[in-house]
Structure 1
Amino acid sequence: MRKIFGTIALIFLTAAAPALAQPGFQTEASHAVIMDYETGEVLFNHNGDEAMPPASMSKMMTVLMVLEALEAGSLSLDDELPVSVHAWRTGGAASGSSTMFLEVNSRARVEDLLHGVIIQSGNDACIVLAEAIGGSESAFADMMTDRAHELGLTSASFANATGWPDPGQMISARDLAELARILIRDHPDYYGLWSEREFTYNGIRQYNRNPLLGVFSGADGLKTGHTEDSGYGLVGSAERDGERRIIVFNGMPSNADRATEAERMMRAALSDYGVYHLFSDGDAVDHRAEVFMGEADSIGLQVQGDVTAGLHRRSRRDLRVTVNYDGPLVAPIAAGDVVGTLRVEAPDYETHEYPLVATEDVARKGLMGRIGAALAHMIRG
């Protein structure tokens, strides 16, 4: 059977679009993703599906596990948890790493520990929470991995609760962006913690390391990360005029470079990229599929699921939407049968395909009709 291609004109997208003169956003980060929060569309992807060491950005998964325990009732904000020797030695003042400065053999409230993880990036706070939920940090890390996979974050593997360098601590930029989206969408009551600028514990004031906060209007999260292996990275989110974008990047050479890139990427995310609605679930497309051996010669097609395209505004002019099916379709066909795909393509855009279903039933011709159709088909070649 031959492949049928029908191009759908999208004049409403191309009328005022500028010519595509150069590629969209570019970055010196080793890994980067820009995601639209509302749709989950990836607007920009640079090695974004490649697993990378996330450093402290993996603390987002630690926080998610804590929030789910709170909502399940197995933990409460007022619970006071013990600070073990392991938590103090591995993540406390003695470790020389990011710390909340918890004292060994003391106890700390879960609410304070959450602040310590989110604002201060305290490794000791992460371990205390991990031990309370999982029994040990390693067991908690296994729980993190299992839960991430349940959520569809298939690139994720965790060896600890902190992001400390380990060959088993890996996740892609795309999955970090999706993790941020989950935290924002599913835990709105706690999301405000990510934008708090400072937190004081045991008389020690520490400041949120997110370079977007207080600098980029609308920025309200989420997490920085840095190790020698990963470089400097960020998961950031900001909302303007009802649109929210999530950015993830890693591998910048310095703290100053991270701050510069964070602002540059977020500005591009909100100014240079758009999400364009093409079809709603059930919309008919402007193309009918040819039918063979049917009581009707053609059949209508409709989209299954909403169809959007998130792309650089320069790429709108070159957006191409095609109907694809192996045709002619052979009767009988039932309304609702998947008979083809709608393909959306554009420069610097990940090609997407959506199912197309038949809009009506087409019965098979009777015997004489089938004979006539076969003869006509032979004559036409």
Structure 2
Amino acid sequence: MLKLSTKLTKTVFFSGIIALSSVVSAQDVQYGISPPEVNAQTYILMDYNSGAILASLNPDQRQYPASLTKMMTSYVVGQALKQGKIHNSDMVTIGESAWGRNFPDSSKMFLNLNQQVSVADLNKGVIIVSGNDACVALAEHISGTVLNFVDSMNKYVQQFGLKNTNFTTPHGLDDPNQYSSARDMAIIGAHIIRDLPEEYKIYAEKEFTFNKIKQPNRNGLLWDKSMKVDGMKTGHTSQAGYNLAASATNPSNMRLISVVMGVSTYKGREVESKKLLQWGFANFETLKTLDANKEISAQPVYYGDESSVKLGVLLDSFITVPKGKQAEVKARYELDNKYLQAPLAKGQVVGKVIYQLDGKDIAIVNLQVMQEVKEGGFFGNAWDWLVLTIKSLF
């Protein structure tokens, strides 16, 4: 672990908050390592654990998401399963709106009218073979109507802090009011991996057979033996071009997420994604810098029922650095206020851990209170007031 120096000054806040973890990125850090030429309208490469953006082009540009939309559909389904609102064994009766005939010339799992299909099969139909019909069937089963289901999708958009995403369908067929960005899709992908590991396992499955029709997963990188790709999702419409969100790990357990959107060819989206992933693994490494629930510092607390409080992080903290630079990383922590005052809630952010490389801030992690501190009694508070009053004079 890196040794922390202390600087008790007010923290400077940087732009680019990453909602996935406790990391707050100073910016999409530039390390002077040129990314590969990527033939896409927009793309991004993100380190899953740290949230660091290693390379990007127009990452916040709004695009037609096509079937990348199904990643959010899958998230809503996965959460409904996790919360026990639905079960994999539930049988769904296929109605007119989910009938496969309603989706000519588009991807489907070939559902028949009035057929009884399990939630488990429908979920595989969404993720593995990108079935538009399966999306409608699950949406109606979970929320009663497609409109209500889309509302749930957009509630997660708000919850994740996505700035350039709005869904109007669960399947992603083009709609002028439906859009997303490479950055937002990478964040959705990271939430699936982190929040719904059982759901994410389905993304690695290479084929699915239903109604005696065998279909392959359209993510061709699952077959690529030069990398360990275990997800995620393809998408294509005439307006969107070819999209691909992909995730892969290396032997060091580094995980990267790439998103390319608006590629001109079916195979091209795999080629461009592979360029990004291989470049990321070749040039960077992920460092675990702070352990969850391990004390970094103990600080005095005033007006509380405790005289001191332990500070640290409630989740493991990671940063991303160029390979071979680990020994050169420096870290310090800063408190938002010179003196901590009760009440303090567990998890409350009271400062920042700041990482530097070559004199530049490369990552900032929220410093949190590790246990609750309630307000103290009258006499203790009076004494603390006196102490702080005297300290303020010097």
Instruction: Give the residue type in structure 2 aligned to 1:239.
Output: T
Deviation per residue, 1:39-81 (Å, 9 max, x gap): 3332223222333221101101111111222222222222221
Deviation per residue, 1:96-128 (Å, 9 max, x gap): 111111112322221111111111111001111
Deviation per residue, 1:10-48 (Å, 9 max, x gap): xxxxxxxxxx77523442222222222223332223222
Give the direction of change, closer, same or farther, for the CA distance of 1:95–1:352 in structure 2 (3 Å limit). Answer: same
Residue 237 (1) aligns with residue 247 (2): yes
Residue 273 (1) aligns with residue 295 (2): no
Give the direction of change, closer, same or farther, for the CA distance of 1:66–1:274 in structure 2 (3 Å limit). Answer: same
**CA contact 2:254–2:285 (8 Å) conserved in 1:** no
Q: Note the 1:1-381 alignment, pairs <5 A.
A: 23-88=34-99, 92=101, 95-216=104-225, 217-241=227-251, 242-276=253-287, 308-313=318-323, 333-334=338-339, 352-353=363-364
Instruction: Give the residue type in structure 2 aligned to 1:133.
Output: I
Give the direction of change, closer, same or farther, for the CA distance of 1:129–1:275 in structure 2 (3 Å limit). Answer: same
In the alignment, the residues of structure 2 paired with residue 100 and residue 321 of structure 1 have an alpha-carbon distance, to the nearest angstrom, of 52
**TM-score normalized by structure 2?**
0.70
Instruction: Give the residue type in structure 2 aligned to 1:35.
Output: M
Instruction: Give the residue type in structure 2 aligned to 1:37.
Output: Y
**Structure 1, unaligned stretches of length 5 or more?**
6-19, 285-301, 374-381
**CA contact 1:273–1:313 (8 Å) conserved in 2:** yes
Give the direction of change, closer, same or farther, for the CA distance of 1:255–1:4 in structure 2 (3 Å limit). Answer: same
**CA contact 2:150–2:167 (8 Å) conserved in 1:** yes
Shifted more, 137-146 versus 205-214: the winner is 137-146
User: Could you say what secondary structure the match of 1:233 adopts?
Assistant: strand
Give the direction of change, closer, same or farther, for the CA distance of 1:135–1:277 in structure 2 (3 Å limit). Answer: closer
**CA contact 2:50–2:317 (8 Å) conserved in 1:** no
**CA contact 1:177–1:246 (8 Å) conserved in 2:** yes
In the alignment, the residues of structure 1 paired with residue 211 and residue 108 of structure 2 have an alpha-carbon distance, to the nearest angstrom, of 12
The residue aligned with 1:290 is none
How far apart are 1:323 and its partner, in Å?
8.6
Shifted more, 107-116 versus 79-88: the winner is 79-88
Give the direction of change, closer, same or farther, for the CA distance of 1:262–1:69 in structure 2 (3 Å limit). Answer: same
The residue aligned with 1:287 is none
In the alignment, the residues of structure 2 paired with residue 263 and residue 153 of structure 1 have an alpha-carbon distance, to the nearest angstrom, of 25
In the alignment, the residues of structure 1 paired with residue 389 and residue 82 of structure 2 have an alpha-carbon distance, to the nearest angstrom, of 59
Give the direction of change, closer, same or farther, for the CA distance of 1:325–1:366 in structure 2 (3 Å limit). Answer: closer
In the alignment, the residues of structure 2 paired with residue 366 and residue 218 of structure 1 have an alpha-carbon distance, to the nearest angstrom, of 61
In the alignment, the residues of structure 2 paired with residue 177 and residue 304 of structure 1 have an alpha-carbon distance, to the nearest angstrom, of 27
Give the direction of change, closer, same or farther, for the CA distance of 1:201–1:325 in structure 2 (3 Å limit). Answer: closer
In the alignment, the residues of structure 2 paired with residue 250 and residue 229 of structure 1 have an alpha-carbon distance, to the nearest angstrom, of 11
**CA contact 2:35–2:276 (8 Å) conserved in 1:** no
Shifted more, 338-347 versus 140-149: the winner is 338-347
Give the greater-gyration-radius structure (CA).
Answer: 1
The size of the alignment, in residue pairs, is 326
**CA contact 1:24–1:312 (8 Å) conserved in 2:** no
Give the direction of change, closer, same or farther, for the CA distance of 1:336–1:232 in structure 2 (3 Å limit). Answer: farther
**CA contact 1:157–1:168 (8 Å) conserved in 2:** yes
**CA contact 2:50–2:319 (8 Å) conserved in 1:** no
**TM-score normalized by structure 1?**
0.72
Deviation per residue, 1:272-310 (Å, 9 max, x gap): 2223456778658xxxxxxxxxxxxxxxxx996587542
How far apart are 1:194 and its partner, in Å?
1.0
How far apart are 1:351 and its partner, in Å?
5.5
In the alignment, the residues of structure 1 paired with residue 127 and residue 256 of structure 2 have an alpha-carbon distance, to the nearest angstrom, of 20
Give the direction of change, closer, same or farther, for the CA distance of 1:23–1:309 in structure 2 (3 Å limit). Answer: same
How far apart are 1:248 and its partner, in Å?
1.2
- RMSD of Structure 2 on Structure 1 (CA): 3.7
**CA contact 2:36–2:275 (8 Å) conserved in 1:** no
User: Could you say what secondary structure the match of 1:213 adopts?
Assistant: helix
